[in-house]
């Protein structure tokens, strides 16, 4: 394991991975959302035989295809970075982390590659039923792809189904289904996919309103807006429900992330949820004596209820988690951060002693060292922590990103309700104000998704794998200059791809659906 490394290498490696992930996530959610939209449109064509629905489905398929192609390109680079920039991580847990990614590549990519060709080029070559099945299976393939990637990510947040092998100094999978179906993975999958569906609904409504604003393709626009708004509203409500489940899972498995998201330093019983608040920028550490907030308005006892389903429940804050001493739900007393660090160092020392004993052929000493290692292995990663303050994520970043996500989630529900009311009860085509609101809402869908991932990934810092491997020892030993150079190369490449993708999509939108009224 790497024990000391240039901090600038860590920062640049993290920045490169974050930049790649954020660009990739520009394309993934719209792919997931449009996959369902185009499936609905073609299902209506299959049921009615109306050529209008066929042309409508083909239009949204075209935008899906453009987005899908660029998303695949950025996703491949993201996966390669695990080997190039995070090789120590890949070596330490590659047997576990690699499994869902391998399944994703073999199953989902092959499924998508098979049926996407039929979807685009098989309109007059296969039956309507087979083509409809191909469309839905293309979308299902994209969703299955998301499932396995999110399983891998969820395992980083909550590692299960594995044991550490001191012979190889690697973690090895012992229960595949525990990894694949952990509650964290299941909830993360539904919440993430539903957020993509919300963006799909926002995008379809926004594009439809653009046509109304330009006074063209009115029938196509209104039909798309109604379907997009219904789909988006359902997805938004379900996303709020899974978001609540996500908060509960975080409280159970990552209490430090929850405390950072809430700016909660001193926990307790009947803890309120901050509805509106501004953090004190002068507060830098958990024990600096500064007040955490300039002002805040709380919903009484609501954080306790969300975290434990009990308004009277105890929720630890950052200071409590660092200092320990509070009672856990199993009746034991929480260790302090320093105690965890000490036990982590004991685990690392025991691993070295085990290897030395094995090399010397002393099986008795090896057995004793292995027993000590096994007892302290849950805190292994803490042994690489130099300062307890490293265990506190960036509180302002998580606090504000979470609120951006939640506020926009509430806005989308209201937005879809208003659009549906106007579409069914009023003449939506004549209301320019809602057209502009719908168009301007499209980028908000992307911002909400990015904010969610900021919370998910920045909230678990300093861990690459919670409690097992901090980012400081997960990276590859590279020259900082090589990471800096590739960072800017990728930044330029992804920006060009983004601009090209937006340009192609805008041209397709400007051209409009083929064969329908102008």
Over range 147-154, report the average pLDDT: 90
Quick check: 142 and 109 in contact, CB under 8 A? no
pLDDT digits (tens, 9 = 90+) for 2-11: 445 667 888 8
Q: Report, as an integer, the average pLDDT of 497-518.
A: 86
Q: What is the pLDDT of residues 244-286, one digit of tens each?
A: 999 999 999 999 999 999 999 998 999 999 999 999 999 888 8
pLDDT at position 379? 93
Q: What is the pLDDT of residue 285?
A: 86
314 in helix, strand or coil? Answer: strand
> What's the whole-number mean pLDDT along residues 171-194?
92
List helix spans (H) across 310-336: 318-323
- Angstrom distance (rounded) from CA 168 to CA 221: 60
- Angle at 60 (CA atoms; ends 148, 242), nearest 5 degrees: 40
Provide the sign of the torsion angle of the four alpha carbons 68, 73, 74, 76, taken in this order: positive
Parse the chain into domains and list their residue ranges: 263-321
Residue 192, classed as helix, strand or coil, is helix
Cβ-based neighbour number of residue 492 at 10 Å: 10
- For residues 177-201, give the mean pLDDT: 93
Q: What is the mean pLDDT of residues 235-250?
A: 94
Q: Is the pLDDT of residue 178 over 60?
A: yes
pLDDT digits over 386-422, tens only?
999 999 999 999 999 999 999 999 999 999 999 999 9
State the pTM of this model.
0.92
pLDDT digits (tens, 9 = 90+) for 297-350: 999 999 999 999 999 999 999 999 999 989 888 888 999 999 999 999 999 999
Residue with tokens 């399944």: 103
Instruction: Give the three-state DSSP class for 294.
Output: strand
Q: How far apart are CA 28 and CA 38, in angstroms?
A: 16
Using omega within 30 degrees of 0 as the cis cutoff, is the peptide bond preceding 462 cis? yes
**Maximum separation of any 2 CA atoms in the chain, in Å:** 85
């Amino acid at each position: 394991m790497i024990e000391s490394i240039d901090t600038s290498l860590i920062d640049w490696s993290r920045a490169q991975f974050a930049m790649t992930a954020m660009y990739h996530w520009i394309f993934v959610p719209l792919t997931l959302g449009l996959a369902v939209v185009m499936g609905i449109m073609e299902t209506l064509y299959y049921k009615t035989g109306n050529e209008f629905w066929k042309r409508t489905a083909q239009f949204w398929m075209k935008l899906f295809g453009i987005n899908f192609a660029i998303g695949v390109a950025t996703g491949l680079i993201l996966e390669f970075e695990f080997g190039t920039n995070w090789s120590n991580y890949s070596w330490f847990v590659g047997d576990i982390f690699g499994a869902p990614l391998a399944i994703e590549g073999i199953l989902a990519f092959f499924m998508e590659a098979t049926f996407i060709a039929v979807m685009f080029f098989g309109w007059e070559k296969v039956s309507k039923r087979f083509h409809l099945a191909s469309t839905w299976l293309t979308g299902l393939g994209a969703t299955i792809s998301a499932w396995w990637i999110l399983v891998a990510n969820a395992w980083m947040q909550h590692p299960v189904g594995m044991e550490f092998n001191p012979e190889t100094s690697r973690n090895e999978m012992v229960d595949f289904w525990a990894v694949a179906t952990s509650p964290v993975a299941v909830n993360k999958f539904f919440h993430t996919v539903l957020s993509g569906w919300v963006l799909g609904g926002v995008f379809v409504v926004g594009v439809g309103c653009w046509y109304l604003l330009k006074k063209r393709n009115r029938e196509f626009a209104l039909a798309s807006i109604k379907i997009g708004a219904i789909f988006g509203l359902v997805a938004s409500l379900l996303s709020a429900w899974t978001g609540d489940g996500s908060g509960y899972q975080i409280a159970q498995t990552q209490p430090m992330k929850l405390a950072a998201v809430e700016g909660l330093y001193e926990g307790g019983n009947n803890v309120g949820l901050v509805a509106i608040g501004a953090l004190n920028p002068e507060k830098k550490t958990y024990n600096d004596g500064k007040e955490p907030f300039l002002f805040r308005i709380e919903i009484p006892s609501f954080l306790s209820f969300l975290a434990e389903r009990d308004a009277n429940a105890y929720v630890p804050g950052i200071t409590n988690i660092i200092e320990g001493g509070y009672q856990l739900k199993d009746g034991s007393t929480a260790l302090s951060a320093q105690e965890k660090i000490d036990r982590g160092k004991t685990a690392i020392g025991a691993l070295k002693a085990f290897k030395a004993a094995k090399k010397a052929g002393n099986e008795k000493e090896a057995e004793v060292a292995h027993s000590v290692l096994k007892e302290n292995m849950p805190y292994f990663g803490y042994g690489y922590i130099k300062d307890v303050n490293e265990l506190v994520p960036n509180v302002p970043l998580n606090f504000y990103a979470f609120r951006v996500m939640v506020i926009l989630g509430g806005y989308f529900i209201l937005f879809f309700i208003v659009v549906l009311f106007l579409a069914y009860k009023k003449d939506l085509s004549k209301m320019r104000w809602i057209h502009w609101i719908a168009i301007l809402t499209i980028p908000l869908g992307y911002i909400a998704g990015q904010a969610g991932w900021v919370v998910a990934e920045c909230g678990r810092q300093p861990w690459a794998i919670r409690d097992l491997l901090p980012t400081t020892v997960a990276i590859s030993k590279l020259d900082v200059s090589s990471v800096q150079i590739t960072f800017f190369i990728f930044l330029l490449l992804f920006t060009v791809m983004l601009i090209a993708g937006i340009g192609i999509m805008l041209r397709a939108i400007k051209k409009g659906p083929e064969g329908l009224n102008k």
